[in-house]
Amino acid sequence: MDVQQTRFSTQEIAALARRIDRPIVLVGMMGVGKSSVGKRLATLLDCPFVDADDEIERSAQMTIPEIFDTYGEDYFRDGERRVIARLVTERANSGKPRIVIATGGGAFCNAETRALILDSAITIWLDSEVDTLVERTARKENRPLLRGGDPHEILGRLREERAPHYAQAPIHVTSGSGPHVQTINKVLQGISQWL
- Taking only the tens place, the pLDDT of each residue in 99-145 is 999 999 999 999 999 999 999 999 999 999 988 887 777 666 656 56
Spatial separation of the C-alpha atoms in residues 32 and 52, rounded to whole Å: 15
Would you say 84 and 107 are in contact if contact means Cβ atoms under 8 Å apart?
yes
Helix (H) or strand (E) holding 127: strand 122-127
pLDDT at 138: 66
pLDDT interval class at 42 (50, 70, 90): very high
Side by side, which strands form the sheet with 24-27?
49-51, 100-102, 24-27, 122-127, 171-174
Say if CB 88 and CB 25 are below 8 A apart.
Answer: yes
CATH topology of domain 10-194: Rossmann fold (3.40.50)
pLDDT over 80 (residue 163): yes
